[in-house]
């Protein structure tokens, strides 16, 4: 927001900026009534809860962290950043409900959203509670990048990618678009009511946090014993 000019005459009273802009957003806190409502709601275990106002898209948003998921029937901006992890964005074209998860490894011990085998079932079940059906779901898949040099023997990103594609094939949920593997970290934005997804490939040299995240995932991963939709770039 542009700053107000100084008063032209000495001693003239300064006019304080209004607490809210015309869009209803607090100048100092980036708050909206909708954002306050989202933050006040009680969330389920594993459900994303980091809500904020995204100034670039001028929309309320939620960040899905590793091991979390989020689904909705409104076009709240659902965002995440990926290295070797996978985000599956599911959408029911009839119920108009969508959701995203963020898992780190294909499988593991215990019920945790960090593992794809649990994360996929959790997201599907939560969407079905909102009226979705497996028969009318479709998927967009992101991530699985090899962002850590020298760790190709473990192939965490490749294993994650193969897992999610196999899972969706088994469940007969069509993958209408994907942006996976390669060496790039990715930032993904998803609108669950419309099913629209946007992806931005990030510079591999600016991924320190993702590298640390992926190293943690790699330490938990053991090498294997044996060898129609659209995506917008922004």
Task: State the average pLDDT over residues 96-110.
Answer: 92
What integer is the mean pLDDT of 165-175?
Answer: 98
Which band of pLDDT confidence, cut at 50, 70 and 90, is reported for residue 110?
A: confident
Beta strands 59-63 and 50-54 are antiparallel
User: Quick one: average pLDDT of 196-210?
Assistant: 80
- Residue 86 to residue 47: CA distance in whole angstroms: 16
Q: What is the 3-state secondary structure (H, E, C) of 180-204?
A: ECCCCCEEEEEECCCCEEEEEECCH
Q: Please report the sign of the dihedral spanned by the C-alpha atoms of residue 200, residue 203, residue 206, residue 207.
A: positive
In this prediction the pTM is 0.78
Closest CA to 179 of 123, 99, 234, 132: 234
Render pLDDT for 75-85 as a digit per residue (tens, 0 to 9). Answer: 899 999 999 99
pLDDT (0 to 100) of residue 147: 82
Cα separation, 26 vs 33, whole angstroms: 10
Q: Give me the pLDDT at residue 116, please.
A: 96
Q: Which pLDDT score is estimated for 220?
A: 53
Contact assessment for residue 134 and residue 173, using Cβ atoms and an 8 Å cutoff: yes
Taking the alpha carbons of 97, 102, 107, 112 in that order, is the dihedral positive or negative?
Answer: negative
Region 158-183: what's the mean pLDDT? 97
Are 105 and 220 in contact by the 8 Å Cβ rule? The answer is yes
Q: What per-residue confidence (pLDDT) applies to 233? A: 47
Tens digit of each residue's pLDDT (9 = 90 or more) over 14-56: 434 333 343 444 444 578 999 999 999 999 999 999 999 999 9
Of residues 148 and 12, the one with the higher pLDDT is 148
Q: How far is 143 from 88, CA to CA, in rounded Å?
A: 9
What is the share, in percent, of the chain residues with pLDDT greater than 90?
65
Domain 47-233 has CATH 3.30.1130.10: no
pLDDT higher for 38 or 207? 38
pLDDT recorded at residue 225:
38
Q: What Å distances lie between residue 33 and 13, 28, 40, 191, CA to CA?
A: 31, 14, 11, 19
What is the DSSP code (8-state) at residue 224? P
Say if residues 47 and 101 touch (Cβ distance below 8 Å): no
pLDDT tens for residues 192-202? 999 999 999 99
Considering the chain, what is the average pLDDT of its residues? 82
Q: What is the pLDDT of residues 122-142, one digit of tens each?
A: 999 999 999 999 999 999 999
DSSP 94: T
- Does residue 153 carry a pLDDT above 70? no
Give the pair of three-digit tokens for residue 171. 């469940």
- Residue 150 CA neighbour count, 13 Å, CB half: 2
Cβ atoms of 131 and 178 within 8 Å: the answer is no
**Does the structure show a pLDDT above 90 at 208?**
no
Q: Give the pLDDT band (50/70/90) at residue 212.
A: low
Residue 2 has pLDDT above 50, yes or no: no
CB 91 within 8 A of CB 196: no
């Amino acid at each position: 927001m542009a700053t107000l000019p100084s008063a032209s005459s000495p001693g003239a009273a300064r006019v304080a900026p209004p607490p809210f802009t015309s869009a209803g957003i607090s100048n100092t806190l980036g708050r909206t009534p909708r954002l306050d409502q989202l933050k006040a709601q009680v969330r389920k275990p594993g459900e994303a809860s980091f809500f904020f106002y995204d100034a670039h898209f001028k929309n309320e948003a939620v960040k899905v962290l590793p091991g979390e998921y989020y689904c909705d029937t409104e076009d709240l901006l659902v965002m995440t950043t990926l290295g070797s992890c996978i985000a599956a964005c599911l959408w029911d074209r009839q119920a108009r409900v969508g959701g995203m998860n963020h898992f780190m490894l294909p499988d593991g011990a215990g019920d945790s959203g960090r593992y794809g085998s649990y994360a996929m079932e959790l997201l599907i079940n939560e969407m079905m509670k909102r009226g979705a059906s497996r028969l009318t779901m479709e998927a967009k898949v992101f991530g699985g990048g090899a962002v850590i040099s020298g760790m190709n023997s473990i192939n965490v990103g490749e294993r994650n990618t193969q897992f999610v594609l196999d899972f969706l094939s088994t469940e007969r949920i069509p993958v209408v678009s994907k942006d996976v593997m390669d060496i790039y970290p990715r930032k993904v934005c998803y609108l669950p009511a419309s099913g629209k997804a946007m992806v931005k490939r990030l510079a591999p040299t600016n991924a320190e946090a993702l590298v640390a995240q992926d190293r943690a995932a790699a330490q938990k991963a053991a090498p294997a014993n044996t060898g129609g939709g659209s995506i917008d770039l922004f």
